[in-house]
Structure 1
């Protein structure tokens, strides 16, 4: 069974009496997707964007290129993206959105030399458990980067380990 954060909350809240939990909705959507051998996007079911990326990461959408002028952006649904480009040489994945915001407000990426970082990098957060789009983007970046350095800043508890997996 897939984690409950991967399905849009909207399905569950349309009829909470019918669906006992979001986990049940996630399981049903997953089963239908596997049975029909179709991705969720074809079924018209996608998660609300929750992942954020900051840094030199650009998405080429099927219809247009997006995000050139935006340093921080929501990670789009994988079905709407044709390619992902980056000049980042490392990625820091941060579990807590509050920590991500602290790094953002301290201009962590822009002040890399102050911290001894000379290569361009990117910050990513899934705001807790990452959604499908965030995991997809991290996989794409790992495949695109010449020698991927993906670092994690997580809680040292079972949830942190689960998020890392």
Structure 2
């Protein structure tokens, strides 16, 4: 930690473990200060290449925060730092990548543009091919810049790519646009924008009683096609698998707009399904200082262990090595509550997994009946 204090100083309160959402002029100012501090070090009587203090984005450096007046928890990164230096062979390129991404973000903000991470990758690949060979390098460097400047990706001008969709009893109105009735958007639903600024400004109205978060797009389509929201006053949301930032932010916005409405998750009965649920519930360590921002108090509706009796034996699938890796990671995490760990232990001991589609054994219209029964029983944790 002492090394971090001797390196380029971006902020005096380095213990802060969150990223601000800032207007462009403030982000530009932070980048300018970072550059001036770096130049000051180089022009000092005893010039040196400064180290860059990076907060560790590792599970070992994560903590769980539990609100005093609410049962909402979220993860955040603690105080452990690592450094990247131009003078060390194993970090020299990543040191340079940080400055190149900051430079690119500054240009984006000056031009008042928004780009996706994919667009930024191709721009950097063409401009600096010796430093950026993969999308992963760009994504990781963006998180380094977020940590150094203490501002969100969106504040840097980087727009989230969205796979998400919403359907059901929700009215949405974008600024200066007509109101969208999400009951009329068909089985594909209304596409959730990747523009977080636009999502922030959405006006939302509903008479729904529940929000269902559906892991799979195909299940979402079936429920929307069956217009389950006419049987159960609800809103359907899907991220089509592992949740992207835009879908998580949209869900977070809904929980702010409708704080009393239960959010219920329907995922496959396997470690990956539980990991998806936990990402919505607690946030993601991989998002670094933005981990906590979009967490919401989602409850695990299904699939659960006692749902397995509804499925024929032939529908169960053997757990794969990747499933076991995810299970091991979840089990070792302090985030997971005991009742979730108990379900996970049953999965591992049984050595098998069950998918939502197995419920079609009872007919294609069974999903709506299944959800209604679970709600009546208040069967969620």
- Same-fold call, TM cutoff 0.5: yes
TM superposition score category, shorter chain reference = 0.7 to 0.9
1:85 to 204, 223, 228: 204
Q: Identify the range of structure 1 (94-103 vs 140-149) with the bigger mean alpha-carbon deviation.
A: 140-149
Matched with 1:73 is 190
TM-aligned CA deviation for residue 51 of structure 1: 0.6
1:49 aligns with 2:169: no
Q: What is the correspondence of 1:32-43 to structure 2 with a 5 Å cutoff?
A: 32-43=145-156
1:144 aligns with 2:264: no
1:104 aligns with 2:229: no
Contact 1:57 1:122 in 2 (8 A): yes
TM-aligned CA deviation for residue 84 of structure 1: 4.2
TM-aligned CA deviation for residue 37 of structure 1: 3.1
Aligned residues: 153
Contact 1:89 1:145 in 2 (8 A): no
1:164 aligns with 2:280: no
* Higher RCO (C-alpha 8 Å, min separation 6): 1
Contact 1:59 1:65 in 2 (8 A): no
TM-aligned CA deviation for residue 146 of structure 1: 4.9
How many Å separate the matches in 1 of 2:133 and 2:274?
Answer: 27
TM-aligned CA deviation for residue 13 of structure 1: 5.2
| Structure of higher CA gyration radius | 2
TM-aligned CA deviation for residue 12 of structure 1: 3.9
Secondary structure of the equivalent of 1:42?
helix
1:95 aligns with 2:215: yes
| TM-score normalised by the chain length of structure 2 | 0.36
User: Could you say if the C-alpha distance between residues 19 and 106 of structure 1 is closer, same or farther in structure 2, counting changes exceeding 3 Å?
Assistant: farther
How many Å separate the matches in 2 of 1:28 and 1:58?
Answer: 38
1:64 aligns with 2:173: no
TM-aligned CA deviation for residue 11 of structure 1: 3.6
TM-aligned CA deviation for residue 99 of structure 1: 1.1
How many Å separate the matches in 2 of 1:11 and 1:140?
Answer: 27
TM-aligned CA deviation for residue 94 of structure 1: 0.7
1:125 aligns with 2:231: no
How many Å separate the matches in 2 of 1:24 and 1:58?
Answer: 39
Structure 1 unaligned segments of length 5 or more: list them: none
| TM-score normalised by the chain length of structure 1 | 0.76
Deviation readout 1:14-65 (Å, 9 max, x if unpaired): 639754543332221122123223332332211222110112334444x424
Contact 1:84 1:140 in 2 (8 A): no
Task: Pick the structure with more helix per residue.
Answer: 2
Task: Pick the structure with more strand per residue.
Answer: 1
